[in-house]
Amino acid sequence: MPYTPAPDSAAPTAPPTPPVPLAELLAREDLGLRRIAGPAEAELLWVHTSEMADPYPYLLGGELLLTAGVLLTDPDHQPDHYVSRLVEAGAAALGFGVRPVHEAVPRGLVEACDRYGLPLLEVPPETPFTAIARAVWRLMAEARHRELRRVTRAQQALATAAARPDPVPAVLQQLASQLDGRAVLLTARGEEVHAAGRDVGPEAVAALTRLARVVAGDRPGAPASATDTHGDTRLSAYALGGGEGLALTLAARRRGPGDHTVAGIAVILLSLLAAPHQGADAANRSAALVRLLLGASPSEVAPLLGGGPGSGSGLWTVVHARRTDGAPADALTAGALGASLGTALVDTGGGEGRGGGAGSPVRLLLPEGNGIAPQPGWTLGASAPTPVPGLDAADSLAARALAHARATRAPLTVDAPVSGLAALVPPGQAAAHARALLSPLTAPLADTLRCWLSLHGSWDRTAVALAVHRNTVRQRIGRCGELLGKDLDDMDVRTELWFALRQG
């Protein structure tokens, strides 16, 4: 399918001056213009005055040509040839001023304009040509001002969408709304990543896929954008930056002067959202993965991830995250969360059941020095900063912190390291005491008891955190009391158990 590459230059910062519909000019009662031939619809880009027998060489197209018909008094002048040349030059309409040369518009000119489909306006004697030109420029300025306001509103709406927890689909939805069409994010292979807006039919979708291959391919010289049409639907595709092989494709029934600018704003936002975070070099991450697969220890590959001193002794924070609204998080949405937290180390599938509830949370690894703060639309659980050998245990702590955050409806819970009086006991002795005290409990019972104690004995919140029924929680806690032979309503017992559970 043929395509038309868009110019290589950057999108304009403001939309071009929009054309003026002929109907708007005719609606100006102060001008007294009257259409006497040709179609009612036309768009005016300029106003030009000429009394030449053939103004063709001086027309750019889209003009309202104004004339008093000085040469129409010549018997050799042929209105048919004159009008055909105007149409060939792309003139939008012809304005004929009556008096002082002609008392009325010549009949032959009216017939020629009807024959060639050129709108013909009668200009009354009291209306100067300069007044018509001034009116057209004013209408253009008003239209441009409206379009600038529209682009500004669209820019604000797109920026707001980009700040949402699901920025990529939110930006696409807002873009489709602004352009009254369909916006689709496609890979170079034509795979749909996200889509929003009204349905445009399978044939138009196939045409968009072909355009995406044109701009998102890895061949040298691929255009940054391309356009096409399918019936009365206008299609366009824009390559996204960041080397991800993605393309933004658009389908709309109309294309306004500011649409290219609005699309350009969306391209910039989506390129930033879809691009990999540059805090850890992609080549180093690949090298770390290869070394792990070939048997290297985590401490050996840690320096490649940029998270600590060259010795690999840096500290890392494990974060588990879930969307507050319960919606699943795709790779781009999870990547946007990672970018907000300053890390490219993001995993969208951390294993069934982690963090409570069905499905998997997003898991992130934050290098030393990266602070963690609540993120709009997300519930987060984080471990304390941990050296590389302890990341497996930190992963479990982050899962518990996430469960606690969801149960208490807090945006962020951080699993704090042992401190205070508990820190005064040597770790070896504390661990030995914990193993002896908790030995009667299975792992599920110990996890339930830990969660129940952390939530101050709330049955409902523990049930939410563990994604089980509250009666199941009651049964497990009762079983814990039986196996331990202790009264779990006793604060001293609870304190001792909490201390022991914190060692695991």
Tens digit of pLDDT for each residue in 254-291?
Answer: 877 788 888 888 888 888 787 654 444 566 666 776 77
pLDDT for position 8: 40
pLDDT tier at 293, thresholds 50, 70, 90: low
Tens digit of pLDDT for each residue in 304-313?
Answer: 766 544 434 5
Encode 468-494: b = buried (16+ Cβ within 10 Å), e = exposed: beeeebeebbebbeeebebebeeeeeb
- Higher per-residue pLDDT: 380 or 3: 380
Measured distance CA(328)–CA(129) in Å, rounded: 64
Residue 366, pLDDT > 50, answer yes
Q: How many CB atoms lie within 10 A of CB 301?
A: 19
Tens digit of pLDDT for each residue in 314-337?
Answer: 788 899 999 888 888 877 788 788
> What average pLDDT score do residues 156-161 get?
89
Q: Measuring CA to CA, how many Å separate 183 from each of 13, 56, 156, 163, 175?
A: 21, 41, 18, 19, 7
Which residues on adjacent β-strands are paired with residue 247?
186, 239
pLDDT for position 122: 96
- Higher per-residue pLDDT: 359 or 136: 136
pLDDT tier at 85, thresholds 50, 70, 90: very high
pLDDT for position 93: 97
Measured distance CA(148)–CA(142) in Å, rounded: 10
Which residues on adjacent β-strands are paired with residue 407?
none
pLDDT for position 64: 96
pLDDT for position 479: 87
> What average pLDDT score do residues 68-94 get?
87
Tens digit of pLDDT for each residue in 173-196?
Answer: 999 999 999 999 888 888 888 889
Structure tokens belonging to residue 332: 């781009």
> What count of residues does the chain have?
504
**Out of 53-57, 88-92, 333-337, which region has the weakest mean confidence (pLDDT)?**
333-337
Residue 197, pLDDT > 70, answer yes
Q: What is the pTM of this model?
A: 0.57
Q: Measuring CA to CA, how many Å separate 497 from each of 335, 454, 476?
A: 39, 11, 15
